[in-house]
Amino acid sequence: MKAFIIDKYKSKDGGRIGQMPVPEPQADEVLVEVHAAGINLLDSKISNGEFKLILPYKTPFVLGHDVAGVVTRVGARVQQFKIGDEVYARPADHRIGTFADFIAVKEADLALKPKRLSMEEAASIPLVGLTAWQALIEKGNLKKGQKVFIQAGSGGVGTFAIQLAKHLGATVATTTSGANTELVKSLGADVVIDYKKDDFEKVLYGYDLVLNSQDGKTLEKSLRVLKPGGKLISISGPPDRDFAEEIGAPWYVKLIMRLLSAGARKKAKQLNVGFSFLFMKASGAQLKEITSLINSGTIIPVVDKVFPFESIQEAITYVESGRAKGKVVIKIK
């Protein structure tokens, strides 16, 4: 099968299109023929070796974290899916590889594709949808009437998180460029700050929750917009001790993560607010919840561009530029 292959970390060419064997599904897996795959900044970070400490992949490996396609084979213990089902998923860590003709996905990580979405639209959802769900609902416990600050509202996670937060009944503030103000307002943002003109720290105060996706300087400023007892959940780092425990990291990795997050944790403690790091996990059960919100029209996908598979390198470069509104997808079948 054709696939986008990483032969070594930090490769100058960023990867190559080549041939790989079709995966053999295990008893608890299904084989999915890939129709479309979403591209995420995480793909670049993994190929550059930025997560090698916590997610070491043995080269060569196939990149890609979002998939929409059709089930072509089912493992012996699979009960929820059958051949011909249209499905989507964010495969589990160490089981990635959606930039290919086929991928084997664990049954527990898979969900039926939302009926109202095309394959390309469905492929844009899993990673950003699960990230927003786990940040706002699972970790953030966001409630009706609360205030949440979602950074980079026109990005992949932002466009989904704004809609989810509004569904939960929260007041939503976000940052974006002036050109994207109408987009984020249409998704439900109540307070929109043009980051090129204004400093959000001087506008926002008394917030219950912050979803941080930017750098360390922005994180520190974001802690100050929280009310006492508020929480900041960061998806861009630094990783903390709880995350190290969660992944069963060796002692030296736990020590490194403790040191990396020391500044953020200290600042949060001084301000009497919470800080935690989120590295989203695959979950078919949560994707089913997301599917129901999509099928009801509560959440709509925001897709910037769809590239052909042959232009995958161009698509990755476009995502790295930070200019995409919503998600970028590659069409494989």
Amino acid 21: pLDDT: 97
Q: What is the pLDDT of residues 247-260, one digit of tens each?
A: 888 998 899 999 99
Please indicate, yes or no, whether residues 116 and 154 belong to a single structural domain of this protein.
no
Please indicate, yes or no, whether residues 13 and 93 belong to a single structural domain of this protein.
yes
Q: What is the pLDDT of residues 184-235, one digit of tens each?
A: 999 999 999 999 999 999 999 999 999 999 999 999 999 999 999 999 999 9
Domain span at 200: 128-277
How far is residue 232's CA from residue 212's CA, in Å, rounded to a whole number?
7
Q: Which helix (H) or strand (E) holds 174?
A: strand 171-176
Is residue 16 over pLDDT 90? yes
Please indicate, yes or no, whether residues 9 and 103 belong to a single structural domain of this protein.
yes
pTM of the predicted protein model = 0.97
Please indicate, yes or no, whether residues 267 and 316 belong to a single structural domain of this protein.
no
pLDDT confidence band for 240 (50 / 70 / 90): confident
Please indicate, yes or no, whether residues 8 and 57 belong to a single structural domain of this protein.
yes
**What does the pLDDT average to over 300-308?**
98
Nearest to 150 by CA among 122, 191, 110: 191
Please indicate, yes or no, whether residues 119 and 141 belong to a single structural domain of this protein.
no
User: Is the sign of the CA dihedral 112, 114, 120, 124 positive or negative?
Assistant: negative
Answer whether 105's CB lies under 8 Å from 89's CB. yes
Within a domain: residue 213? yes
Q: What angle is formed at CA 136 by the lines to CA 135 and CA 140, rounded to 5 degrees?
A: 85
pLDDT confidence band for 241 (50 / 70 / 90): confident
How far is residue 48's CA from residue 178's CA, in Å, rounded to a whole number?
31
Please indicate, yes or no, whether residues 229 and 323 belong to a single structural domain of this protein.
no
Q: What is the pLDDT of residues 45-77, one digit of tens each?
A: 999 999 888 888 999 999 999 999 999 999 999
Q: HSE (CB half, 13 Å, CA atoms) of 247?
A: 24
Strand 274-277, strand 226-234: pairing: parallel
Is residue 136 over pLDDT 90? yes
Which residue type does 14 have? Answer: G
Please indicate, yes or no, whether residues 59 and 7 belong to a single structural domain of this protein.
yes
Mean pLDDT of the chain: 96
Residue 34, strand partner residues: 69
How far is residue 177's CA from residue 251's CA, in Å, rounded to a whole number?
42
3-state secondary structure of 159: helix
Amino acid 13: pLDDT: 82
- Structurally, how many domains does the chain consist of? 2
User: Taking every pair of C-alpha atoms in the chain, what is the biggest distance, in angstroms?
Assistant: 58
Within a domain: residue 295? no
Please indicate, yes or no, whether residues 119 and 137 belong to a single structural domain of this protein.
no
Within a domain: residue 312? yes
Q: What's phi and psi for 136, nearest 5 deg?
A: -80, -40
Cα-based torsion angle of the residue sequence 162, 167, 172, 177 in order, rounded to the nearest 10 degrees: 30
Q: Which two tokens stand for residue 84?
A: 């011909």
Q: What is the pLDDT of residues 163-185, one digit of tens each?
A: 999 999 999 999 999 999 999 99
